[in-house]
Amino acid sequence: MAARARRAEVGVMDLARDLGVSTATISRALNGNPAVRPELAERIRQHAEARGYVANRLARALSANTSHAFVGFVIPYVDTPAYSAVAAECARLLSANGTQMILTITENDPERELRQLKELVASRVAGLIISPSTHILDPTKQLLASLPVVQFHRACGIDAPGVFGDDEQAMAQSVLHLAALGHTDIAYLGTSELLSNGAARLRGIRRGMALAGLDPDEMPMRLLEPTRANGRRGVEQLLMEPGTPTALVVGGGSLSIGAAQAVRASGRRLPDELSLVVYGDPAWFALSDPPLTTVCVSYQDLACRAARLLGERLDDRQPPRGGATPVPDPGPYLVTPELCPAGSTAPPPGRRRG
Partner DNA sequence: TTGAAAGCGCTAACAT
Partner DNA sequence: ATGTTAGCGCTTTCAA
Contacts with its own copies, residue ranges (CB under 8 A): 7, 54-59, 61-62, 69-70, 73, 77-81, 84-85, 87-88, 91-92, 95, 98, 100-105, 107, 116, 118-124, 146, 228, 257, 260-261, 264, 283-289
Closest to 230 (Cα-Cα) out of 201, 206, 261, 203: 261
Interaction partner, residue 91 (DNA, its own copies, none; CB < 5-8 Å by kind): its own copies
Residues 5, 8, 24, 265: which binds DNA (CB under 7 A)? 24
* Binding of DNA by 11 (CB under 7 A): yes
Closest to 291 (Cα-Cα) out of 344, 253, 337: 344
* Binding of DNA by 119 (CB under 7 A): no
Residue 290 preceded by cis peptide, ω within 30: yes
* Binding of DNA by 36 (CB under 7 A): yes
Interaction partner, residue 321 (its own copies, DNA, none; CB < 5-8 Å by kind): none
Q: Tell me which amino acid residue 84 is.
A: S
Interaction partner, residue 50 (its own copies, DNA, none; CB < 5-8 Å by kind): none
Burial of 78 (0-12, 13-18, 19+ CB in 10 A): middle
Closest to 23 (Cα-Cα) out of 13, 32, 33: 13
Residue 89: phi and psi, rounded to 5, are -65, -40
Interaction partner, residue 146 (its own copies, DNA, none; CB < 5-8 Å by kind): its own copies
Closest to 287 (Cα-Cα) out of 267, 311, 261: 261
The end-to-end CA distance of the chain, in Å, is 88
Q: What secondary structure letter does DSSP report for 42?
A: H
| Distance from C-alpha of 16 to C-alpha of 317, rounded to nearest angstrom | 32
| Distance from C-alpha of 216 to C-alpha of 207, rounded to nearest angstrom | 8
* Binding of DNA by 47 (CB under 7 A): no
Residues contacting residue 206 through CB under 8 Å, at least 6 positions apart: 216, 219
Beta bridge partners of 224: 191
Distance of closest approach, residue 11 Cβ to DNA, in angstroms:
3
Q: Which stretch binds DNA (CB under 7 A): 5-13, 221-229, 284-292, 345-353?
A: 5-13
* Binding of DNA by 50 (CB under 7 A): no
Interaction partner, residue 21 (DNA, its own copies, none; CB < 5-8 Å by kind): DNA
Interaction partner, residue 269 (DNA, its own copies, none; CB < 5-8 Å by kind): none
Distance of closest approach, residue 194 Cβ to its own copies, in angstroms:
23
Beta bridge partners of 149: 128
Residues 17, 46, 63, 118: which binds DNA (CB under 7 A)? 63
Interaction partner, residue 85 (DNA, its own copies, none; CB < 5-8 Å by kind): its own copies
Q: Give the nearer residue to DNA in terms of CB position, either 68 or 177.
A: 68
* Binding of DNA by 60 (CB under 7 A): yes
Which residues in 41-148 belong to E strands, given as ranges? 70-75, 100-105, 127-130
Interaction partner, residue 196 (its own copies, DNA, none; CB < 5-8 Å by kind): none
Closest to 267 (Cα-Cα) out of 239, 227, 245, 237: 239
Q: Give the nearer residue to its own copies in terms of CB position, either 163 or 202.
A: 163
Residues 46, 56, 95, 142: which binds DNA (CB under 7 A)? 56
Distance of closest approach, residue 6 Cβ to DNA, in angstroms:
14
Site for DNA in 264-293 (CB under 7 A): none
Residue 251: phi and psi, rounded to 5, are -115, 85
Burial of 177 (0-12, 13-18, 19+ CB in 10 A): buried
Residues at the site binding DNA, with contacts judged by CB under 7 A: 9, 11-13, 20-28, 30-31, 34-37, 40-41, 53, 55-56, 59-60, 62-65
